[in-house]
Structure 1
Amino acid sequence: MQIVAWFLGIFVYFSDSFSPLFVGTTMRGIADKARVSREKLSYIADSGAAPVSVLVPITGWAAYLSGLAIGIGSIATQEDAMRLFIHAIPLNFYAVFTVIFVGLIAAGIIKDFGPMKKAEDRAINEGKVLRDGANPLIGKELTEMEAYPGIKPRVFLNFILPVIMIMTIAMGTYFTMKSAKTMEAFLFVTIFMVISMYIQGIPFKEIMKTIDDGIKGAVPAVSILALAYSVNNISKTMGTADYIV
């Protein structure tokens, strides 16, 4: 199970924030049944997925990092900057080694140690995937979401196909338009899923409720990201880097 979560993080690489959220939400139920601690799942989801977003040239991070290089030395255009980014991928040691290290841990080649081992022992021996007193940041709307009664689950149509569509659109637009339209890919797949769910027999009102619950469930994570960006802007305005670096 852990190696599956690692693979998901590698292939769903669109964003350092979306990828861990996607992997965690997708694998949480399976991980709980397999008695994998939430600490372990969180580690695999974050450290196995987020670093990939800076190793693939069709993510928002790739565009941002390559954009920073424009105007430095002989880097004059976005194309030059992207070529620099691609050639620098093997030198991004932290991201490369982190992804490999997480894979080795997920495969059991490197054994758990320290607090992670304690968390895994608790989950395996006591069945507690969450420590006593834990307060998960994810909204209950996502953890308590159930399949609509009477509708047969279709893994390929409702899970695998949307992921393939997002990846295909993002990669296709990158190679044809020199810019990965990731946001547009998500919007297209959202519309596709609404139509698909309606055709499968789910009432439109229930579909909108599902979308609403999904948005509510993601609010805590989005709030943390928003606060992080706010702190970043404040630090830049105050010139904090001049005193710390």
Structure 2
Amino acid sequence: MDNYGWLSILPPIIAIVLALRTKQVYIALLFGIWFSWIIINDWNFLTGTLSAIEGMVNVFKSEGNTRTIMFSALVGALLLFIQYSKGVEGFINQLNKVIAYFEKKQTGYSRVIVQLLALLTGILLFVETSISSLTVGTLYRPVFDKLKIPREKLAYIADSSSAPSSILIPFNAWGAFIMGLLVTQGLENPFGLMLSSIAYNFYPILAIAIVVIVIVSKKDIGPMAKAEKRTRETGKLLNDNSKPMLSSEVTSLAPKEGIKAKAYNMIIPLVTMVFMMPINLVYTGWGNVTDAVSTSDHIFKAIGQGSGSSSVLYAVLTAILVAMVLYRSQKIMKTKEMIDLVLKGISELMPLALLMLLAFAIGDACNELGTGKFVAEWSKDWLSPEFLPAIIFVISSFIAFSTGTSWGTFAIMMAIAIPMAEVHQAPITLVIAATLGGGIFGDHCSPISDTSIISSMSSASDHIDHVNTQLPYALIGGIATIILYLILGFAL
């Protein structure tokens, strides 16, 4: 069958509630996976349990999933490299000069500047969400710790600057994927439609704006306000019962003694990783382009045809190799020492790789249940043109929240939203924007989102604490977006 009706939404909802209530995200995801396969196997507990195990094994049948899990583990090696080489220490020394300058101007202003710099870094790394959130967390965590800014705030900034910038500046794999979906729907000038929809894609715009307001006003709400108060008064960067996503071996590895701290020992590997992402997209997609009219057209279309998971994996591997050559040439590390660090880094990031595995497995189970199809089909009959953009946003948000994937939401909802917009003669750019924005909003609120997981990991924050502290700001942006779509739905 295409879907299992209302039963198809129970497993992801139960998993999310369990994760938020118990803070045991691994157990919550495992239960969600198990319960999904129990339903699929007609409540046969033995067959369902065995199918759940096979479902997790089958995650590796997808080359993209395997590459992403490998990337998640290899990131640990890169983090250890830049920490051990005193690259992070060198970068912090440079940031301290910036902090000292602003402290002379106005006491306490350095906290604002550093947070704005972290946000700007995340926006500028629009080429890929994983690289953006990873780099922001890795670069700014030591400085945030020094200034007594809670880890939850860093994870929030990393998360809220990654996907929003990638969707608003779509000259990346995101833009290529969205264009492909629009082409599939038979729309003319898909690139123009995608660019036109950016002006109506309110949620990512508001998400970034809210971060700026929170930083500049120094006013926080809800759990984030409590986190700020805790850190200011006690110096504790995390709650007492929190479990940071990243091992302390990675976050606090002692740098090698007897070498000079140089910022470029961190900057060069990270810039290499970012720079290699678009190059790898072009490389992996070059041979798939057959209708290019010029070299520039071929390059852009190659980005659209490129493999995002391959590009990310190749980028981090290249960064590790560049780091090895860089450190070996300076006689900072010997070859055996570097190999040991790679293995140690991988081992320390295995919890993250496991979490990614479970996130993919529950996503596959939701696809098998037809969760997204059920929600989309259930909403078809009662939509009207005026309410269409707002309701499309809400449905996209729910699908993304339940499945933890914005791209999967785009793929499901574009096929529903665009035909409905044409039938009801609703503004097509508004509906496209609502679909995309809803996917980002739901993904931001979901504890099983891979972007949120990586943001927690790179910031060494407790993952559920990150979700809880980010949620009020995301809800403000989401509610404001719904109101704007209602207004425009009646006005246009």
> Structure 1, unaligned stretches of length 5 or more?
none
Cα deviations by residue, 1:105-138 (Å, 9 ceiling, x for unpaired): 22x2261122211110110111111111111121
Q: Does 1:234 align with 2:358?
A: no
State how 1:24-43 maps to structure 2 within 5 Å.
Answer: 24-43=137-156
C-alpha displacement of 1:21: 2.6
Structure with greater helix percent: 2
Counterpart of 1:95? 204
Q: Does 1:56 align with 2:163?
A: no
Amino acid at match of 2:241: G
Q: Does 1:143 align with 2:251?
A: yes
Match of 1:206 among 337, 353, 362: 337
For residues 209 and 90 of structure 1, the distance between their equivalents in structure 2, rounded to whole angstroms, comes to 49
2:353 partner SS = helix
Residues 127, 278 of structure 2: 8 Å contact kept? no
For residues 12 and 185 of structure 1, the distance between their equivalents in structure 2, rounded to whole angstroms, comes to 14
Amino acid at match of 1:162: P
Residues 141, 216 of structure 1: 8 Å contact kept? no
State how 1:56-135 maps to structure 2 within 5 Å.
Answer: 56-75=169-188, 81-106=190-215, 108-109=216-217, 111-135=219-243
CA RMSD of aligned residues (A): 2.5
Structure showing greater radius of gyration is 2
Match of 1:13 among 105, 118, 126: 126
For residues 50 and 214 of structure 1, the distance between their equivalents in structure 2, rounded to whole angstroms, comes to 26
Residues 54, 62 of structure 1: 8 Å contact kept? yes
Once superposed, which parts of structure 1, at least 4 consecutive aligned residues long, lie more than 6 Å away? none
For residues 345 and 121 of structure 2, the distance between their equivalents in structure 1, rounded to whole angstroms, comes to 20
TM-score (norm 2): 0.44
C-alpha displacement of 1:24: 1.5
For residues 147 and 20 of structure 1, the distance between their equivalents in structure 2, rounded to whole angstroms, comes to 23
Residues 164, 205 of structure 2: 8 Å contact kept? yes
Q: Which moved more, 1:82-91 or 1:44-53?
A: 82-91
Residues 10, 49 of structure 1: 8 Å contact kept? yes
Residues 9, 20 of structure 1: 8 Å contact kept? yes
Percentage of matched positions with identical amino acids: 30
Instruction: Identify which of structures 1 and 2 has the higher relative contact order when contacts are C-alpha pairs closer than 8 Å and 6+ apart.
Output: 2
- Paired residues in the alignment total 239
Counterpart of 1:188? 318
The alpha-carbon distance between structure 1 residues 84 and 166, as it changes in their structure 2 partners (threshold 3 A), is farther
For residues 337 and 204 of structure 2, the distance between their equivalents in structure 1, rounded to whole angstroms, comes to 41
Residues 47, 102 of structure 1: 8 Å contact kept? yes
Cα deviations by residue, 1:60-104 (Å, 9 ceiling, x for unpaired): 3333322222221335xxxx5445433433332211211122122
Residues 197, 207 of structure 1: 8 Å contact kept? no
TM-score (norm 1): 0.84
C-alpha displacement of 1:45: 1.4
Amino acid at match of 1:90: A
Residues 135, 270 of structure 2: 8 Å contact kept? no
For residues 353 and 135 of structure 2, the distance between their equivalents in structure 1, rounded to whole angstroms, comes to 13
> Structure 2, unaligned stretches of length 5 or more?
1-113, 283-295, 377-492
For residues 56 and 120 of structure 1, the distance between their equivalents in structure 2, rounded to whole angstroms, comes to 31
The alpha-carbon distance between structure 1 residues 109 and 62, as it changes in their structure 2 partners (threshold 3 A), is same
Cα deviations by residue, 1:183-211 (Å, 9 ceiling, x for unpaired): 34443332211111111111112222232
